Amino acid sequence: MLKCQRSLFSITKEYVYLNCAYMSPLLKSSHDAGMEMLIKQSFPQEVAIDDFFTPPEQLRKAFAQLINANSSDRIAIVSSASYGIANAANNIPLEAQDNIIVMDEQFPSHVYVWQKLAAEKNANLISIAPPTTSENRGKIWNERLLSAINDKTKVVAIGTIHWADGTLFDLKAIRRRTREVGAYLILDGTQSVGALPFDVQEIEPDALICSGYKWLLGPYSLGVAYYGSAFDNGTPIEENWMNRKDSHVFQDLVNYQPNYRPEAQRYNMGGLSSFIHVPMLTDSIRQLNEWGVEEVNDYCHRLIQKPLRQLKNLGCSLEHSDYYSPHLLGVRMPKGISMERLQDQLQKDRIKVSIRGNSMRIAPNVYNDRSDFDRLIESFKKVIKE
Ligand SMILES: Cc1ncc(COP(=O)(O)O)c(C=O)c1O
């Protein structure tokens, strides 16, 4: 059973940081891995050819292990979720009047690209709205999605969970239905992979793209993406030299090479060796592999039981437990509470969560402990009692 891992991070007790869905604090070991390479960059004679190729391969291997992919060549290194999603969107043979399905209020990096594609191809972008009532909201939202998938659907492009309120989507059922109608399934895993188990061999998405700076505990500006066989012969959005076969043979670089490296390797971003960021993200994903994502999820689960009971007793409401994961909770506030006042109080008490509409998004991770939640509840009580 995993214990609190706060000592592996630099965060202090001064703040209660319950906002990993915004940005993860760095592991001390990731920080050190980045510093080592920052220093090395001041002495370029020490940067070897091997530094271009071996660290990215280590990152691909670590992520392949995390999501149970059977080949690290299926993993590309990307700068952001939007970059990885653009590579998928660029290779979907969309025709006029085909449907692309997204969820309401989805994160914009996974919406603009589909808006653009739909406009270019005269296709339809359909956004699935949740019910307005809170009872069975997650269940009904999932049902609405499933019943919208039909023979006209070419792409279902959704998050593995909803980024703003944490609603879980039934990925197995969605994959089954997309297969029945021959639609692509393009998943943005940024808000769950690393904190909620994801098995790529079980779900078999066509692509799974993750920005690295949230639940993968990595630095900003780097992510990882899995592409399935549907994209094996696709056209990448840029033509970087490293993505071509034999690019490690520096003396042959201008014997221009028509062939790409295998599987997803054509989709790596330019500058994929990103000397500082790659070792940092590798370090953090290795740490997740060492803990085990199930353990991370279980830790968060144990941590939130008491505070959730307290919040409910104070009039808050939450999604049915089948439709949220303990790492990202959209807690709906009782009627009449001033969200501005709540935000002020949390600020005063140095508590970091996200306020979205009438909800408080709480996103704990393994560096949080009971005392963090005690402080959150105390702060919340001050607002309620007024
Ligand atoms: C679901 C989701 N995807 C992606 C991102 C980040 O997007 P990008 O990597 O394109 O900047 C966020 C940031 O909040 C997010 O919540």
Alpha helices of the chain — where are they, by DSSP H?
28-41, 49-67, 81-89, 112-121, 137-148, 171-181, 200-203, 277-291, 293-313, 339-348, 370-384
Please tell me the distance between residue 385's alpha carbon and the centre of ligand 1 in angstroms.
36
- CATH, domain range 6-18+292-384: 3.90.1150.10
Query: pTM for the full model?
Result: 0.97
**109 Cα–ligand 1 center, Å:** 6
| Ligand 1 and 79: CB distance under 6 A | no
| Ligand 1 contact, 106 CB (< 6 A) | no
Cα(46) to ligand 1 centroid in Å equals: 34
HEC sequence for 33-51: HHHHHHHHHCCHHHCCHHH
Domain boundaries, the chain: 6-18+292-384, 34-290
pLDDT tens digit at each of 386 positions of the chain = 999 999 999 999 999 999 999 999 999 999 999 999 999 999 999 999 999 999 999 999 999 999 999 999 999 999 999 999 999 999 999 999 999 999 999 999 999 999 999 999 999 999 999 999 889 999 999 999 999 999 999 999 999 999 999 999 999 999 999 999 999 999 999 999 999 999 999 999 999 999 999 999 999 999 999 999 999 999 999 999 999 999 999 999 999 999 999 999 999 999 999 999 999 999 999 999 999 999 999 999 999 999 999 999 999 999 999 999 999 999 999 998 999 999 999 999 999 999 988 899 999 999 999 999 999 999 999 998 77
What amino acid occupies position 32?
Answer: D
The CATH class of 34-290 is alpha beta
Tokens describing residue 189: 């895993």
β-pair type (329-332, 16-17)? unpaired
